[in-house]
């Protein structure tokens, strides 16, 4: 068992843990948590470049959200940690001024543009609402770099309880015991 180290699960990882994220699976999250993923200098540069563009596009999306929704937003500079479960952590793109709400900015590259919210994003919203103690989450999405939409997601305690259960299992039975997902936990 790993002792002394605190592991965190962010909202964007719960979809991988539950198997709904098409871009990253549970084993990749497991390896990242245990820092067994080897990063060379080229991969680090690519990650920094990618984060630069994600953050730049999120700034633009936040501005567009305020224009289209008429709501004011403010930056949340610190990562938040859940009061009850210290492994639950989130970074909120913005807080909505005058509401107990948060904003999540999302870049979608799906070929099929539908009005149904991506399950991975829905899980991230619920995780983040739990940690941020928010009652509502707005999701601003730029789809295929050509269409901007935003949706309002209400807090769902039943789904949040399922998320907590799965995250506790992942941390306690896999990460802390260093047992890869898919192997029997005794």
Q: Quick one: average pLDDT of 83-105?
A: 96
Rounded Cα gap, residues 113 and 146, in angstroms? 11
* CB-count exposure of residue 18 (10 Å: 0-12, 13-18, 19+): middle
pLDDT the model gives residue 110: 63
Cα first-last separation, the chain: 13
pLDDT surpassing 60 at residue 4: no
The third-level CATH classification (topology) of the domain covering 9-175 is: Lambda Exonuclease; Chain A (3.90.320)
Q: Binning pLDDT at 50, 70 and 90, where does residue 46 land?
A: confident
Q: Binning pLDDT at 50, 70 and 90, where does residue 183 land?
A: low
pLDDT surpassing 50 at residue 14: yes
Lowest mean pLDDT among 37-41, 80-84, 150-154, 178-182: 37-41
Whether the CB-CB separation of 158 and 107 falls below 8 Å is answered with: no
Mean pLDDT rounded to a whole number for the chain: 87
Annotate 6-51 with DSSP letters as a single string: ---EEHHHHHHHTT--SS--HHHHHHHHTT-S---HHHHHHHHHHH
pLDDT > 90: percent of the chain: 52
For the whole model, what pTM was predicted? 0.84
Edge-first strand listing for the sheet containing 101-108: 73-74, 94-96, 101-108, 136-143, 147-154
pLDDT the model gives residue 2: 47
pLDDT surpassing 80 at residue 117: no
Alpha carbon of residue 149 to chain centroid: 19
Using alpha carbons, select from 20, 36, 16, 10 the residue that is nearest to residue 130. Answer: 10
pLDDT the model gives residue 1: 46
* CB-count exposure of residue 28 (10 Å: 0-12, 13-18, 19+): middle
Q: Binning pLDDT at 50, 70 and 90, where does residue 39 land?
A: low
């Amino acid at each position: 068992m790993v002792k002394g180290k605190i592991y965190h699960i962010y909202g964007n990882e719960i979809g991988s843990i539950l198997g709904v994220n098409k871009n990253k699976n549970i084993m990749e999250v497991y390896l990242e948590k245990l820092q067994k993923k080897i990063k060379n200098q080229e991969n680090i540069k690519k990650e920094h470049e990618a984060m630069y563009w994600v953050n730049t596009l999120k700034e633009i999306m936040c501005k567009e959200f305020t224009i289209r929704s008429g709501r004011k937003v403010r930056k949340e500079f610190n990562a938040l940690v859940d009061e009850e479960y210290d492994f639950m952590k989130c970074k909120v793109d913005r807080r909505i001024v005058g509401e107990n709400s948060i904003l999540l900015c999302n870049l979608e590259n799906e070929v099929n543009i539908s009005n149904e919210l991506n399950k991975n994003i829905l899980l991230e919203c619920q995780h983040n609402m739990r940690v941020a103690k928010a009652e509502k989450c707005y999701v601003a999405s730029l789809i295929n770099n050509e269409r901007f939409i935003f949706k309002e997601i209400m807090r769902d305690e039943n789904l949040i309880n399922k998320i907590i259960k799965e995250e506790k299992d992942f941390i306690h039975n896999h990460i802390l015991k260093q047992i890869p997902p898919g192997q029997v936990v005794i």
